[in-house]
Structures are given as C-alpha cells and as structure tokens.
C-alpha cells in the first residue's frame, strides 16, 4: 500500500505547467494587483469608473489564477473544470458581496 503512490506517474499530456506558464501567470497577477493599488493610492479615478475597474481587475485575477495556476484549460474531464469554476465563482461572490457589505455598513456608521 505504501508503494501505491509510486506507481502514479504523469505523462507529458498530464504535465501541470511549464516555467514559462507559471512566470507569465505570476507577472499578470502582479500587474492585476498593482493596477488597483495604483488607482486607489494615486486617486487616478473617481466614482463608478473606479469601482468597475477594481472589480474587473478582481475578476481577471480570478481567471488568471484558474487558468495559469489551477490549470483549468488543461483538464480533460469536464466535471473537474466545472467544479473548479463553480468553486472559484462561489469564492468570488462571497468576497465581492462581503466586501461590498462591509464598505456599505462602514460608510453608514461613519
């Protein structure tokens, strides 16, 4: 039983990713993190435009994480793709809704 995991091997088709793929995903993630920080700290936008760009950056960050690090596009079994996407969307909804709820109630109390 201890040798069961030794029998599991990955073929070239099942490779998880290359250094180039991880590096590209990391750089895109850094840009999608730095962009909202620059917008907020630099006061570059106001109002609805600022909110839309910040939320769009968050959604794009989710897509980058799913594609480059969770290898969503490389999975051969569709149900795993669907489960990964559903979990990612669930987490996104919780984070966005929770953040909006906290921001709304903090501005009312102030």
Q: Residue 20: exposed, middle, or buried by beta-carbon count in 10 A (0-12, 13-18, 19+)?
A: exposed
In this prediction, residue 108 carries a pLDDT of 59
Any domain includes 4: no
pLDDT of 27 over the 90 cut: yes
The boundaries of the domain holding residue 67 are 18-109
pTM for this one? 0.61
Percent of the chain with pLDDT over 70: 75
> What's the count of helices (H) and strands (E) in the chain, helices before strands?
3, 0
Number of structural domains (the chain) is: 1
Which range, of 5-9, 17-21, 41-45, 101-105, averages the lowest pLDDT? 5-9
Any domain includes 52: yes
């Amino acid at each position: 039983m201890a040798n069961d995991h030794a029998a599991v091997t990955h073929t070239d088709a099942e490779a998880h990713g290359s250094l180039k793929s991880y590096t590209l995903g990391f750089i895109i993630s850094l840009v999608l993190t730095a962009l909202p920080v620059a917008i907020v700290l630099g006061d570059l936008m106001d109002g609805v435009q600022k909110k839309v760009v910040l939320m769009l950056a968050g959604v794009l960050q989710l897509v980058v994480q799913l594609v480059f690090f969770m290898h969503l596009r490389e999975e051969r079994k569709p149900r795993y793709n669907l489960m990964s996407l559903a979990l990612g969307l669930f987490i996104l909804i919780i984070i966005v809704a929770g953040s909006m709820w906290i921001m709304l109630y903090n501005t009312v109390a102030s």
